[in-house]
């Protein structure tokens, strides 16, 4: 493919909305959240979560080390949530299987009229949470079935549903821990007023996040200037130690080449 042809290629995107089906009210509540009114506080839903994540992602592109840190924390929270929900689903299914008599056959449980929800965001963390939300839907269906056939008392049903919903909301609310200050890694190195304000709001950071060497694999690309700085530091470190080239340097060089190629393609397309 020629360089000119590459520059004319558009970014890949779905031709229509991705859709999910939610069969239960708890899952739909987690998706929708609740608008704030004069009489009651708002509740963050998945679209609102993704909106805040997009702000964090943009801050990462602007070289904010705190955004990088909180992105990684949110991703870790989703990973732990996934493990917890897997265990919840496994437990309720095992509970039903162990307590129904061999002669009883249970039908598949589903809603006759599920809510069809369009997914209109482009966020990796958002999609990771969508998968957990669909898992919640399956947990709720199994809990309701166990209650319906007399295996699970009402008290335990409500306790389980409340526990699962609270666990998901805890992850949604992780986005509130990040506070946008406009700080950059250069500000942090200079320890200027903006850096001091960020420290006051969010505390100190590990050196890896300050340097940009510790990051989530799913985080947006750092700005070109930062990638070049990191590459130079790794090169000097390798030479000083007399070692074979650090594999991280190869990754950084590949990432830098990709970013520069994208910028060149965009410039050619608008020329």
Regarding whether 238 and 109 lie in a shared domain, the answer is no
Longest dimension (CA), the chain: 73
Instruction: Please tell me what DSSP assigns to residue 214.
Output: S
Structural domain range at position 98: 17-211
Regarding whether 46 and 26 lie in a shared domain, the answer is yes
Indicate the helix (H) or strand (E) that contains 117.
strand 115-119
Output the pLDDT for position 5. Answer: 52
Output the pLDDT for position 210. Answer: 92
- Whether 96 is covered by a domain: the verdict is yes
Output the pLDDT for position 234. Answer: 44
- Whether 77 is covered by a domain: the verdict is yes
Regarding whether 165 and 38 lie in a shared domain, the answer is yes
Output the pLDDT for position 255. Answer: 54
> How many domains does the chain fold into?
2
Output the pLDDT for position 231. Answer: 53
Regarding whether 182 and 107 lie in a shared domain, the answer is yes
Regarding whether 199 and 225 lie in a shared domain, the answer is no
Regarding whether 250 and 194 lie in a shared domain, the answer is no
Return the sign of the alpha-carbon dihedral for residues 143, 144, 147, 148: negative
Regarding whether 122 and 230 lie in a shared domain, the answer is no
Regarding whether 129 and 249 lie in a shared domain, the answer is no
Alpha helices in the chain (DSSP H): 3-8, 25-32, 46-61, 65-99, 124-148, 154-172, 185-190, 193-202, 207-211, 224-241, 247-270
- Whether 244 is covered by a domain: the verdict is yes
- Whether 216 is covered by a domain: the verdict is no
d(CA 169, CA 24): 16
- Closest to 125 in 3D by CA, of 161, 166, 88, 178: 178
- Whether 163 is covered by a domain: the verdict is yes
Distance, C-alpha 20 to centroid of its chain: 18
- Whether 7 is covered by a domain: the verdict is no
pLDDT (tens place) for every residue of the chain, 271 residues total? 555 555 455 555 666 789 999 999 999 999 999 887 778 888 999 999 999 999 999 999 999 999 999 999 999 999 999 999 999 999 999 999 999 999 998 887 878 888 999 998 878 999 999 999 999 999 999 999 999 999 999 999 999 999 999 999 999 999 999 999 999 999 999 999 999 999 999 999 999 999 888 899 999 988 888 777 665 554 444 444 545 444 544 454 455 555 455 555 555 555 5
Regarding whether 267 and 156 lie in a shared domain, the answer is no
- Whether 262 is covered by a domain: the verdict is yes
Regarding whether 52 and 181 lie in a shared domain, the answer is yes
- Closest to 185 in 3D by CA, of 212, 208, 221: 212
- Whether 46 is covered by a domain: the verdict is yes
């Amino acid at each position: 493919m020629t360089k000119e042809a590459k520059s004319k290629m558009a970014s890949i995107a779905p031709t229509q909305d991705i859709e999910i089906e939610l069969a239960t009210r708890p899952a739909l509540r987690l998706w929708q959240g609740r608008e704030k009114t004069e009489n009651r506080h708002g509740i963050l839903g998945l679209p609102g979560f993704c909106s805040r994540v997009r702000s964090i992602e943009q801050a990462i592109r602007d070289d904010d080390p705190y955004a990088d840190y909180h992105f990684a924390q949110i991703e870790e929270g989703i990973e732990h949530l996934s493990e917890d929900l897997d265990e919840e689903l496994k437990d309720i299914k095992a509970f039903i299987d162990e307590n129904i008599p061999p002669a009883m056959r249970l039908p598949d449980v589903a809603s006759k009229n599920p809510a069809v929800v369009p997914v209109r965001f482009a966020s990796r963390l958002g999609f990771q949470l969508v998968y957990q939300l669909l898992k919640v839907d399956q947990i709720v269906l199994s809990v309701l079935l166990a209650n319906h056939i007399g295996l699970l008392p009402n008290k335990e049903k409500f306790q389980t549903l409340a526990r699962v919903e609270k666990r998901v909301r805890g992850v949604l609310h992780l986005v509130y821990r990040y506070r946008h200050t406009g700080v950059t890694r250069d500000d942090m190195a200079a320890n200027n007023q903006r850096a001091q304000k960020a420290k006051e709001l969010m505390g100190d950071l590990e050196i890896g996040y300050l340097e940009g060497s510790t990051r989530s694999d799913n985080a947006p690309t750092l700005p070109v200037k930062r990638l070049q700085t990191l590459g130079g530091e790794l090169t000097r470190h390798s030479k000083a130690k007399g070692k074979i080239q650090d594999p991280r340097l190869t990754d950084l060089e590949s990432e830098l080449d990709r970013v520069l190629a994208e910028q060149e393609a965009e410039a050619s397309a608008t020329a």
